[in-house]
Structure 1
């Protein structure tokens, strides 16, 4: 019976991770809240790495055509210098530029950030800040498409992604908000946001392989981890599809309402 209850808890964590990773409400913050409510405490990064990897697979599958086109355009422009490849080449370069701030901050300060900012109170306050930011850009409609981006845009969005290392600050929210704030169209903002997610998540996976290999709970929690992984994979796919529809309609204000309500409730009751 205890095993079944534990499996159900990890099933719930997988649902939370999968549902919140693509949308601007902070998956890391919600996992901290969910683990507190369930009485679970994760030692090490194995669980985080596994569930993030599941989300990464789902998101890569959804954006597989964009990824293929960008890779082809990048190398096509280097090889031929044909103008039809230039837009995809520059977009790829800007993804690399936008990734750098988060990589530097994570390499230097990730452990300290998680130690200082992983309390429920901090997560609650961060959700309120996310709600304010979403509210401020709710009516913005940019004009920049893929070929109109600049290195400055990439740096600003990359800095926002670095700030999102703080639990409770949504990575997708920070990058989508900053992308829209610098003038990107909704579709371009969404694509750029999740292209930035891919290298950061891949880097986390590569660096975290040793954590998984040396996890003392790996055998005891094998089944719960597998349940959480596949739950996250499936739920992320459907959550991402849903969020793409929301972005197309420009209804980000509803996420702002959610962040306000959740942040206040977490502050009062947890």
Structure 2
């Protein structure tokens, strides 16, 4: 990979991992619309490590208090402080973990091909984009992520499993689910970002196992640069996204998704 490819793909990952516009779609789309080869699992692992670092650093106080109180609840069998939020994040991760293991082969083969992947992405971008717009327009409320109950965590968790479809957007579908449950925009986004931590860890673990099993070559320079660039862009993205949605909302992202989906249909149908 050239330095230009590394920087472009890492910025794309860093920005789209937390924006509701689908990082998977954009990382698949770049090789489709350029002469560049697919970046491969190794680079995907590196940029995911960068975005994971960014979200942990940004929410470091929340991550610390949630982790502390959740582990304490195992010993005391009492749900104090942020332990409840920690358990909701854990429960919400189970559906996507099971779905990922079940459909891993389909996701990494058929859904990444130009013939199928681009069309699937187009319909997912448009359909789930419109659903995000509806949720933001009609159903959002003022609930905090700390007001969530078991049903809410399961609902958002099952919604997150849909993000395995390229073009859906993990952050997009979980924010949509949160808005439908009456969360505020900021609360839905914060819970989505916290949920990303175990999901990225699980996804990275699977990628690492595949790399070791396949004996893939490791370009440490490319991976290191990709991780750093993705981490910096993701950190900035999280900060400005939370500011942006509190003032303007989700509709600009809805328009972007629909336009991009239409363009993909025009190009690949």
Q: Given the alignment, which residue of 207, 227, 233 partners 1:229?
A: 227
Structure 2 residue aligned with 1:74: 70
Q: 3-state DSSP class of the match of 1:55?
A: helix
When structure 1 is superposed on structure 2, of 175-184 and 208-217 the one drifting more is 208-217
The question of whether the paired residues in 1 share the 8 Å contact of 2:28 and 2:38 is answered with no
Structure 1 residue aligned with 2:130: 132
Structure 2 residue aligned with 1:123: 121
TM-score (norm 1): 0.89
Give, in angstroms, the shift of residue 41 of structure 1: 3.0
Give, in angstroms, the shift of residue 246 of structure 1: 2.1
Query: Structure 1 residue 255 and structure 2 residue 253: aligned?
Result: yes
Structure 2 residue aligned with 1:170: 169
Paired residues, number: 263
**Equivalents in 2 of 1:217, 1:93: separation in Å?**
36
Query: Structure 1 residue 192 and structure 2 residue 191: aligned?
Result: yes
When structure 1 is superposed on structure 2, of 43-52 and 101-110 the one drifting more is 43-52
**Equivalents in 2 of 1:57, 1:63: separation in Å?**
10
**Equivalents in 1 of 2:141, 2:92: separation in Å?**
19
**Equivalents in 2 of 1:215, 1:8: separation in Å?**
27
Q: How has the CA–CA distance of structure 1 residues 150 and 268 changed in structure 2, closer, same or farther, with 3 Å as cutoff?
A: same
Q: How has the CA–CA distance of structure 1 residues 217 and 115 changed in structure 2, closer, same or farther, with 3 Å as cutoff?
A: closer
When structure 1 is superposed on structure 2, of 204-213 and 232-241 the one drifting more is 204-213
Deviation by residue 1:147-198 (Cα, 9 ceiling, x = unmatched): 4211111111001110001111100001011011112222321221112110
When structure 1 is superposed on structure 2, of 116-125 and 40-49 the one drifting more is 40-49
The question of whether the paired residues in 2 share the 8 Å contact of 1:126 and 1:168 is answered with yes
When structure 1 is superposed on structure 2, of 239-248 and 43-52 the one drifting more is 43-52
Structure 2 residue aligned with 1:105: 99
**Equivalents in 1 of 2:16, 2:89: separation in Å?**
23
Quote the RMSD (CA, aligned, Å): 2.1
The question of whether the paired residues in 1 share the 8 Å contact of 2:136 and 2:179 is answered with no
Q: Structure 1, unaligned stretches of length 5 or more?
A: none
TM-score (norm 2): 0.89
Give, in angstroms, the shift of residue 57 of structure 1: 0.6
**Equivalents in 1 of 2:28, 2:262: separation in Å?**
16
Query: Structure 1 residue 8 and structure 2 residue 4: aligned?
Result: yes
**Equivalents in 2 of 1:28, 1:253: separation in Å?**
21
What are the residue-to-residue correspondences of 1:130-169 with 2, within 5 Å? 130-139=128-137, 140-169=139-168
Deviation by residue 1:92-111 (Cα, 9 ceiling, x = unmatched): 11111100000000111122
**Equivalents in 2 of 1:215, 1:15: separation in Å?**
27
Give, in angstroms, the shift of residue 75 of structure 1: 3.5
**Equivalents in 2 of 1:176, 1:192: separation in Å?**
8
**Equivalents in 2 of 1:145, 1:213: separation in Å?**
41
